[in-house]
């Protein structure tokens, strides 16, 4: 089974007041999104605050998602300060039941292509699991260019997908032009969904889906079906929220919206802190407007 298809939440990591992971809420939240049409789960990514989790916490988060997902795939985010730790995490993710790996560049160190290629080689070769290359130069300061992605596809049979998060709508087309259908292509930024699907993306690793799974799945399915007028009406409604996924405080914003929609809390691990003042009020105003106008975007629900 191809684990890279449909709408796949980059699931947030909930925390208790004592700063430990709230595994019970994570389990319930995961099950709710899957019941509302999501195709799988991606734990330990950027939105999941993977950089603040210990190795053991990451493994337990992945295990929790696997148990919640049943027969749907869990694609574990694999990032670490060192290549050795990333390899160890990849093997641990396989051991607890992950069905795929989302491979990131290393945290902190920004190397040249030879160094980054060696890191990717080691992680992708660590298990036989299908791997997704995550390109997010905005967050990680490493940009995997289409030519480099094509090179990695030749080197690794189990590299089967790319999550393109450069925010450059031209990238998916550029990758396809180089490698055709060799890799499954996915959108990794929320406010580029329709553009990415129009260029051939077949999955969406999404952020606001944590609060709006039904709407996210409907938008994706309408886009994939080529029902662009209906899709754009929903997209236009959703865009003020989706843009929260592409700013430095995306974790704060998405967790706030998720809390207001009744799932989890906005607690985060320091140095992140909850939004206050005008920032918070502006985000809540966007959410309030979206709640008030949803029926206009979905007239069949009126």
Phi/psi at 163 (5° precision):
-100, 105
Give the pair of three-digit tokens for residue 33. 């999104």
Residue of 124, 205, 202, 115 lying closest to 158 (CA atoms): 124
Task: Give the catalytic positions in this structure.
Answer: 134, 163
Handedness of CA 164, 165, 170, 174 (dihedral sign): negative
Residue of 150, 127, 131, 125 lying closest to 42 (CA atoms): 131
Task: Decide if 162 contacts 200 (C-beta within 8 A).
Answer: no
What is the spatial order of strands in the sheet that 131-135 belongs to?
A: 6-9, 203-206, 184-187, 159-164, 131-135, 100-103, 75-78
Distance CA 10, CA 164 (A): 14
Distance CA 100, CA 66 (A): 11
Residue tagged 């195709």 (tokens): 39
């Amino acid at each position: 089974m191809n684990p890279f298809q449909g709408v796949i939440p980059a699931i947030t990591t909930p925390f208790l007041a004592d700063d430990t992971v709230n595994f019970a809420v994570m389990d319930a939240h995961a099950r709710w999104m899957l019941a509302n049409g999501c195709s799988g789960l991606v734990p330990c990514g950027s939105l999941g605050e993977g950089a603040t989790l210990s190795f053991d916490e990451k493994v337990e988060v992945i295990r929790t998602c696997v148990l919640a997902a049943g027969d749907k795939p869990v694609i574990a985010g694999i990032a670490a300060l060192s290549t050795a730790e990333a390899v160890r995490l990849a093997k641990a993710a396989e051991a607890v039941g992950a069905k795929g790996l989302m491979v990131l560049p290393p945290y902190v160190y920004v190397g040249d292509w030879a160094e980054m290629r060696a890191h990717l080689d080691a992680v992708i070769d660590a298990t036989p699991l299908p791997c997704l290359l995550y390109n997010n130069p905005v967050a990680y300061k490493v940009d995997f260019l289409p030519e480099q992605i094509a090179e990695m596809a030749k080197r690794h049979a189990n590299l089967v997908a790319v999550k393109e998060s450069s925010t450059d709508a031209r990238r998916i087309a550029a990758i396809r032009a180089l490698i055709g259908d060799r890799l499954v292509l996915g959108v990794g930024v929320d406010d580029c969904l329709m553009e990415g699907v129009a260029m051939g993306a077949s999955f969406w690793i999404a952020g606001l889906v944590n609060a709006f799974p039904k709407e996210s799945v409907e938008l994706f399915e309408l886009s994939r079906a080529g029902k662009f007028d209906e899709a754009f009406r929903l997209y236009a409604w959703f865009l003020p929220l989706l843009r929260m996924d592409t700013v430095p405080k995306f974790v704060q914003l998405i967790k706030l919206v998720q809390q207001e929609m009744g799932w989890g809390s906005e607690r985060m691990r320091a140095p992140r802190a909850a939004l206050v003042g005008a920032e918070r009020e502006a985000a809540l105003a966007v959410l309030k407007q979206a709640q008030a106008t949803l029926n206009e975007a979905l007239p069949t629900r009126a």
